[in-house]
A = this chain, B = another copy of it.
Amino acid sequence: MQLPSALLEQAVAEFSKLPGIGKKTALRLVLHLLKQDPDKVRAFAESMVHMRTDTHFCQRCFNISDSLLCSICSNPMRKQEMICVVESIRDVIAIESTQQYNGTYHVLGGIISPLDGVGPDQLYIDQLIERTRTGDIKEIIFALNPTIQGDTTIYYIQKKLQPSEIRFTTIARGISFGGELEYADEMTLARSLQHRMPVDQLKV
Q: Chain A interface (Cβ within 8 Å of chain B)? A: 1-8, 10-11, 14-15, 17-21, 25, 27-34, 36, 38, 41-55, 63-66, 70-72, 88-90, 92-93, 96-97
Q: Are A47 and B89 within 8 A (Cβ)?
A: no
Given A2-B93, A41-B52, output 16 extra A-B contacts at Cβ < 8 Å. A2-B96, A4-B64, A4-B65, A4-B71, A4-B96, A5-B65, A7-B51, A7-B54, A8-B51, A10-B50, A11-B50, A14-B44, A15-B44, A34-B52, A41-B49, A45-B46
The copy count of this chain in the complex is 2
Are B11 and A18 in contact, CB atoms less than 8 angstroms apart?
Answer: no
| Given A25-B20, A49-B45: A64 and B11 interface contact (C-beta under 8 Å) | no
B2 touching A97, Cβ below 8 Å: yes
Query: Is B32 in contact with A66, judged by CB distance below 8 angstroms?
Result: no
A54 CB to nearest chain B CB (Å): 6
Contacts A10-B51, A45-B48: A92 and B28 contacting too (C-beta < 8 A)?
no
B11 touches A20 (CB 8 A): no
Contact for A7 among B4, B34, B55, B90, CB less than 8 A: B55
> How distant is A116 from chain B, measured CB to nearest CB, in Å?
15
Given A66-B6, A71-B4, A51-B27 contact (CB < 8 Å): no
Residues of B within 8 A of A10 (CB): 47, 50-51
Taking the nearest CB of chain B, how far is it from the CB of A40, in angstroms? 8
